Amino acid sequence: TEATSEEVDDDYHTIIKDTERGKGPSDTHEFQAETRQLLDIVAKSLYSEKEVFIRELISNSSDALEKLRYFELTGAQVDDKEVPLEIHIATNDDKKTFTIQDTGIGLTKEELLENLGTIARSGSKAFLEELADKSKGDVRSSLIGQFGVGFYSTFMVGDKVDVYTKSYQPGSTAYKWSSDGSGKYDISEAEGVQRGTKIVVHLKGDCYDYAKEDIITEVVKKYSNFVGVPIYLNGKRANIVQALWTMEPRDVTEDMHEEFYRYIGNVYDKPRYHLHYKTDAPLNIRSLFYVPEYKPTMFDMSRETDVGVALYSRKVLIMARANHVLPKWLRFMKGVVDSEDIPLNLSRELLQDSNLIRKLRQVLTNRILKFFVDQAKKNPLAYREFYDDYGLFFREGIVTTAEQDQREDIAKLLRFESSKLNSGELTSLEEYGERMKAGERTIYFLSAPSRQLAETSPYFEALKKRDIEVLFLYEPYDELVLMNLGQFDRKNLKSIENELYDDKEDT
């Protein structure tokens, strides 16, 4: 059914007005040689599909807004501070125009006068050769993105481009820049211009699609994942990043998880696991966790930076990287924790040692461990792959955790080869326990470089004769972990290399 007018009014919000006008004389300039080349490369050969001009303009606007946000945070003087940081896109099927406007830092006159050429010119020879070199594929598009020169991609689809811009510096003059991309551009002062940049693309005959709202909706949705600012298309919000964690788990689709995971993790891959955990006791918690598909790099393993989950209270972000909400050994988990019990004015030092955070960490850690135990039962193969990629974090967890019962909870996730299983098969400490004969009280293990060496070890021969199962450990750190763990489920963990002496002592 048609939305009634008041519904539209509630959500309808645009800053795009037709108030901008050139004022006074307009000067005509020739593009400098490098800019000419740049424009040709970017507009003619760089992109496989034309729609990417939208991605380039959105990312330029997003960069301009991020820069403004940064200036505001560092206390710089900013004009029109009350203007919200947004990107607006408008399509006009009658005029065949595509318009994008941001309230970011805006361009200064020297930037309009091709200082971009100078930036490019700084490494221009190399830069342009790199750009022209077709073999460089995606490096080139990132090079483009880097200098905001993606702007020139508008000439793939537009035969005339008007730019109205006003820099964020207080009292700066607004300008109008116009060009058909053929070699010259006009600049004049302008009036009726909002802080930021407005780009009006007059579309070529074969690109009228980009004047259609539903086409642009799809393109914006496809690229908007990675934009952290609100995007409006013809007055309607186009990049709804919902607070998935507050929704009913059953209402959240795989696609929504994937998009959200990329959005919060600032990564381009997809999650291999997600845990949507909501509870009201002992604390109010709405949380959503993801395990990345990718295998952690050594950098990930050691990385202190940007670990941690985002901490919210009632959907208001408190801390983007709250790295004490989970224990350090769970730093591979990405996600969001939202709790009404967390004070909005939580400080970093409070985050370190408050009882509330300690309790939150305990509840979340136990729930995450239970999740992995459940996943191991539900899909052993997927768990095996996960364990191969992320198992090191659990070993770290055991040796860095003080409470024995927590250590044993983590130890439930460990997997080893065993003398009772075929080579390549893994078992858990719990399964070993289930196979133990009545009255036995020791879990035996042997550290050796390979199964072949383990099975031919004299230590093993003795146990084999007594038909006692032995776990085979091929990584030295696993021996350290089990020795550090000491007990599991009231059974002693013992390396059979020590066992022989007990034999002698027994005799």
Ligand X SMILES: Nc1nc(Cl)c2cnn(Cc3ccc(Br)cc3F)c2n1
Binding residues for ligand X (CB under 6 A):
60-61, 64, 102, 104-107, 111-112, 116, 148, 151, 163, 177, 197, 199
Q: How far is the CB of 12 from ligand X (least distance, A)?
A: 23
Cβ proximity to ligand X, 122 vs 456, nearer residue: 122
Pick between residue 103 and residue 339 the one whose CB is nearest to ligand X.
Answer: 103
Element (H, E) at 90: strand 87-92
Rounded least distance, CB 428 to ligand X, Å: 55
- Residue 110 C-beta: closest distance to ligand X, Å: 11
Nearer to ligand X, 151 or 277 (CB): 151
- Least distance to ligand X, CB of residue 71, Å: 11
CA angle at 400 for the pair 261 and 297, rounded to the nearest 5°: 40
Q: Considering beta carbons, is residue 116 or 291 the nearer one to ligand X? A: 116
Structure tokens at 443: 């879990």
Q: Could you tell me if 128 and 148 are in contact, meaning their C-beta atoms sit under 8 angstroms apart?
A: no
| Shortest separation between residue 68's beta carbon and ligand X, angstroms | 8
| Cβ 69 to ligand X shortest distance, Å | 13
DSSP 8-state symbol, 173: P
- Exposure string of 20-32, with b = 16+ CB inside 10 Å and e = fewer, is bebbeeeeebebb
Upstream peptide bond of 327 is cis (omega within 30 degrees of 0)? no
Q: What letter represents residue 435's amino acid?
A: R
The whole-angstrom distance between residue 409's C-alpha and the CA centroid of its chain comes to 29
- Nearest to ligand X of 199, 244 (CB atom): 199
Q: Kindly state the tokens that stand for 50.
A: 């034309």
- Is the CB of 112 or the CB of 307 nearer to ligand X? 112
Q: Which is nearer to ligand X, 54 or 105 (CB)?
A: 105
State the minimum distance, in angstroms, from the CB of residue 73 to ligand X: 17
Q: How far is the CB of 40 from ligand X (least distance, A)?
A: 15
Tell me whether residue 84 or residue 282 sits nearer to ligand X (CB atom): 84
Q: Are strands 442-447 and 470-473 parallel, antiparallel or unpaired?
A: parallel
Which amino acid, 174?
Answer: A
Q: Which of 471, 465, 467 lies closest to 496 in space, CA to CA?
A: 471
Q: Check: CB of residue 488 under 8 Å from CB of residue 408.
A: yes
Q: How far is the CB of 91 from ligand X (least distance, A)?
A: 18
Fill in the DSSP letter of residue 331.
T
> CA distances (Å), 481 to each of 50, 213, 320, 408, 485, in order?
56, 59, 33, 11, 6
Q: Give the DSSP letter string of 412-453.
A: TT--BEETTS-TT--B-HHHHHHHSPTT--EEEEEE-SSHHH
The answer to whether the beta carbons of residues 347 and 414 sit under 8 Å apart is: no
CB of 21 to ligand X, least distance (A): 18
- Which is closer to ligand X, CB of 89 or CB of 443? 89
Cα dihedral across residues 362, 365, 368, 369: positive or negative: negative
> CB-wise, 56 or 408, nearer to ligand X?
56
Give CA–CA dist 294/466, Å, rounded. 44
Which residues, 6 or more positions from 4, have their beta carbon under 8 angstroms from its beta carbon?
none
